[in-house]
Structure 1
């Protein structure tokens, strides 16, 4: 009887612990999201900061220069998007006419097929617009101010993580028993490395996707093809969901142009071709298997990240889970969980196709 109680008590304790962890992540999200972004970005700029320090740049100045370079790149992308939006605005009147015609067709369909009169449809739309417009301005202002505060916090956290990296590392090692120091150092090094490789590989892949989407959308005849190419590439930071969202917006733009089904089919065909190239060429060649997570837990952590932290959770989910797996790999009692999360492919191993492509580039 006592053994049965003990065997039941342990799973209950585990479930209670998980509940407390997830509740803490949810209620502390306003503090943890900027902190997590700062830590992830710190691993991205750390190699460049080390190079600058080795060349004689002051330890406090090197992260500042790296952050300025990162902000310049982000600012350049944002400026390009603004330029493309201004170009897109020139076709707004034509788009509005096409959208109006499309809405009229939808209203006629609802009226004839379902029996909802146009007057009833207008009444429902007006009620929704009144309910949504009441707090829209205040919501936009508060959201923008919150974004600015979080943006500044991320920059500050990133700088401080890089500047105090040695102190943070020593603090972690001080908590570890002497016989586990080698494993702890290995886990810290691999965690930073896997995050850097994932982010740098993802950045390279996004640039390549810009080119592929830009060519495909231009050939299809989509207006402001560069804007939608950049949008689809940037949304790739949200796995699975991002590329579908970006392509969906591009399809809506194609429909609003009113040039027939050929343009829509061209945009959809571009999506499938780019997805094929991304899945079988770009990801094995550029990103690789550094984040060694199986598809089941990739989807689970994305859904869980969105539930706890929203869109930010979906962006952070994959690198954070990859770093967690590295820690599990180096803790004996947690190795079964690392095996459960991981995939059969080994980190650092590329398939034969990607190896051939790399050799081909090196020869060139």
Structure 2
């Protein structure tokens, strides 16, 4: 019986190098996550501003194609005005309906007490709970600071987003000159432009699909809400439309808000149930029939990657991260596909194993 020969030094050295590479990647990932979390106050508004800039650029390019040649210079100002108008309308609808909700709080409280009494009667409870007793039990005063902090953070982030967006628009003209200075080699410059175009087109296609799907869900939901007699329909339409940009769970959660409110506002409880079931059915039908047909290869992300990105960015940046999770995943996949060392990760992230067409062979 002969002893097995010891492994050559080169094999052992290769194993140590591979282990060090894996450890370096894990360490870099953890440190990057900590940096993103620690700098979220700075990075969140900046990334949102870049996201708005991409939307404005896509709308301006669309207007450039559609407008007459003499009016093409107006494409960018019109795109900026359209996005600003959407933001202004969003703020106005939210503020207007918030004041209306506050004015009708007494009637909502009475309706909630009636529902609680009905539930207590069916459950055979001796003591009927009321909204005031539930509020005292929950002690909402302890959450006032958290809510106030959230509103303060939102207001501050909005201001910074607009500031960042203004500076990004002002420096937009210098992007081409900067690219020529960064990549003096023509071949590398063309390659960098191709990567940028791929990221931009992927994000704009994603935004386009989500916007059309959101409009379909919102329009159908508005018709159903009007049929059952729900009030504040513009506000609920805004909630449904905006939450649609959160992948996987956004629209499903968004339609719950008007449905739950309908149980409180609509006197007939069966109409509230019809509203709840109908809104969820609309979301399910559009998300599982219309959206896959529209999306096609425009996203090319594996569904599990979408969920993991939602969990990761939602954990780091909260609601902002949830909104930006899929665009950031698309951008990450495009960048990883450019380097031979990270290309296998991009292949794993893609839905068909081809992060971009050049890898089709």
The interval holding the TM-score normalised by the smaller chain is: 0.7 to 0.9
Q: Does 1:69 align with 2:49?
A: no
Q: Does 1:269 align with 2:282?
A: no
Distance in structure 2 (CA, Å) of the matches to 1:262 and 1:9: 62
Is the alpha carbon distance of 1:32 and 1:81 closer, same or farther for their aligned partners in structure 2, counting shifts above 3 Å? Answer: closer
Q: Does 1:254 align with 2:262?
A: yes
Offset of residue 212 of structure 1: 1.2
Offset of residue 162 of structure 1: 3.0
Check conservation: 2:246, 2:322, Cα contact below 8 A. yes
Structure 1 residues not aligned, in runs of 5+ = 350-364
Is the alpha carbon distance of 1:123 and 1:264 closer, same or farther for their aligned partners in structure 2, counting shifts above 3 Å? Answer: closer
1:163 is aligned to 173
Residues 100-158 of structure 1, C-alpha deviations (whole Å, 9 max, x = no match): 22344567889949xx9979x9498357234334x368636633541343232343244
Distance in structure 2 (CA, Å) of the matches to 1:25 and 1:75: 29
Q: Match for 1:230 among 214, 235, 238?
A: 238
Offset of residue 64 of structure 1: 4.8
Check conservation: 1:84, 1:224, Cα contact below 8 A. yes
- Which structure is higher in RCO with an 8 Å CA cutoff and minimum separation 6? 1
1:98 is aligned to 111
Is the alpha carbon distance of 1:66 and 1:267 closer, same or farther for their aligned partners in structure 2, counting shifts above 3 Å? Answer: same
Structure 2 residues not aligned, in runs of 5+ = 1-11
Check conservation: 1:325, 1:342, Cα contact below 8 A. yes
Is the alpha carbon distance of 1:64 and 1:124 closer, same or farther for their aligned partners in structure 2, counting shifts above 3 Å? Answer: closer
1:306 is aligned to 314
Say which SS state the counterpart of residue 332 (structure 1) adopts: coil
- Provide the TM-score with structure 1 as the length reference: 0.78
Counting only pairs closer than 5 Å after superposition, residues 1-364 of structure 1 correspond to structure 2 as: 2-49=13-60, 51=64, 63-82=76-95, 92-104=105-117, 112=125, 122=133, 125=136, 128-133=139-144, 135=145, 139=149, 142-143=152-153, 145-160=155-170, 162-174=172-184, 179-257=187-265, 258-285=267-294, 287-344=295-352
Offset of residue 242 of structure 1: 2.0
Is the alpha carbon distance of 1:218 and 1:62 closer, same or farther for their aligned partners in structure 2, counting shifts above 3 Å? Answer: closer
Offset of residue 216 of structure 1: 2.1
Distance in structure 1 (CA, Å) of the matches to 2:176 and 2:287: 37
Is the alpha carbon distance of 1:315 and 1:179 closer, same or farther for their aligned partners in structure 2, counting shifts above 3 Å? Answer: same
Offset of residue 16 of structure 1: 0.7
30-39 or 195-204, larger mean C-alpha shift: 195-204
Is the alpha carbon distance of 1:347 and 1:280 closer, same or farther for their aligned partners in structure 2, counting shifts above 3 Å? Answer: farther
Check conservation: 1:289, 1:347, Cα contact below 8 A. no
Question: Which protein shows a greater Rg?
Answer: 2
